[in-house]
Amino acid sequence: MLDICLCDDDSMALSIAQTGCQSFFSDKGIDVNIECFSSGKELLEESQSGHFKLAILDIDMPDINGIELADKLTKQNFNITVMFLSQREDLVFECLSVHPFAFIRKGRFVEDLRKAMTLYVETVYNREDDQETLTIKKKTGMLTLAISEILYIEGKRNYQVFHLRNGEKVESRVLMRDLENALLDKGFLRIQKGFLANARYIRRLNKKTVLLANGVELPLSTSKSEEIMQRFLDITRDTNLTLE
């Protein structure tokens, strides 16, 4: 079951979006549960359980705009994918600050929805059951981690600390360079000598720091900042990486 939330203060647009989504996923044979909200604040309250996998948001809303709402939703639930549904095409570039998966124009709703949902099914939904893993050695034995669950890895002398999405920290006696080689093509960036970051959780890069979706700020190698930024752009462009 795929849980979807729609948020738009326009009741007619909300109804059309719900019908369009239901029809698309029905044709694909995918069971969905679609919940509709006319208020961003109501959606935030309901989404605290973290069950929504896909959020489709209007941008221009009275209580909280869609961009702010997307930022709060992704911090609340790292695993949610956000799309915007709006007639405000002038805000496309502003939307990029929260890394939306797609921008669906209300004026070209049918065409844009089909393209966005097809890409979502191919690159996100169909891959959820095919998660890549990493097996590491702990003091108590071996542990297999889903790579998508790793926010970042921090070097601590002879040990590396895996910081996971659920807040757990796992230590393993392994070389950072070996982890870098193993995760090089899995969407990870060596942002500094002692840090590997999962690109899907990066919210902002500048020449000195990296901001992650959970609010943690990590140091960025100033001597390699341009190289790292380019690598980040390459990852998100070439792998259809879904930023969570």
Q: In the prediction, which pLDDT does 244 show?
A: 43
What is the DSSP-derived secondary structure letter of residue 194? Answer: T
CB contact at 8 A, 11 and 61: no
- Please give the pLDDT value at position 131: 64
Backbone angles phi, psi at 87, to 5 degrees: -95, 0
Q: Are 21 and 32 in contact (CB under 8 A)?
A: yes
**Phi and psi torsions of 129, nearest 5°:** -90, 5
Location of each CATH 3.40.50.2300 domain in the chain: 2-127
Q: What are phi and psi of 241, to 5 degrees?
A: -60, 130
Instruction: Give 210's strand partners.
Output: 205, 218
Cβ(202)–Cβ(211) below 8 Å: yes
> 156 CB contacts (<8 Å, ≥6 apart)?
171
Instruction: Please report the pLDDT score of residue 78 as a whole number.
Output: 66
Element housing 189 (H / E) = strand 188-192
**CATH value of 133-238 in 3.30.1490.190, 2.40.420.20, 3.30.380.10, 2.40.50.1020:** 2.40.50.1020
Q: Give the global pTM.
A: 0.59
Asked if 10 and 57 touch (Cβ cutoff 8 Å), the reply is no
Q: Where does CATH 2.40.50.1020 sit in the chain?
A: 133-238
What distance in Å separates the CA atoms of residue 204 and residue 189, rounded to the nearest whole number? 13
Q: What is the pLDDT along the chain (244 residues), one digit of tens a residue?
A: 899 999 999 999 999 999 999 999 999 999 999 999 999 999 999 998 878 999 999 999 998 999 999 989 987 776 789 999 998 888 888 888 888 889 999 999 999 999 999 999 987 787 665 567 888 888 887 888 888 889 999 998 778 999 998 888 999 988 898 899 889 888 899 999 999 999 888 888 888 999 998 889 999 998 988 899 888 888 766 544 444 4
Looking at residue 98, its pLDDT comes to 84
Q: Which CATH superfamily is domain 2-127 in?
A: Response regulator (3.40.50.2300)
pLDDT for 134 equals: 87
Which pLDDT does position 70 carry in this prediction? 93
Residue 224 buriedness (CB in 10 A; 0-12 / 13-18 / 19+): middle
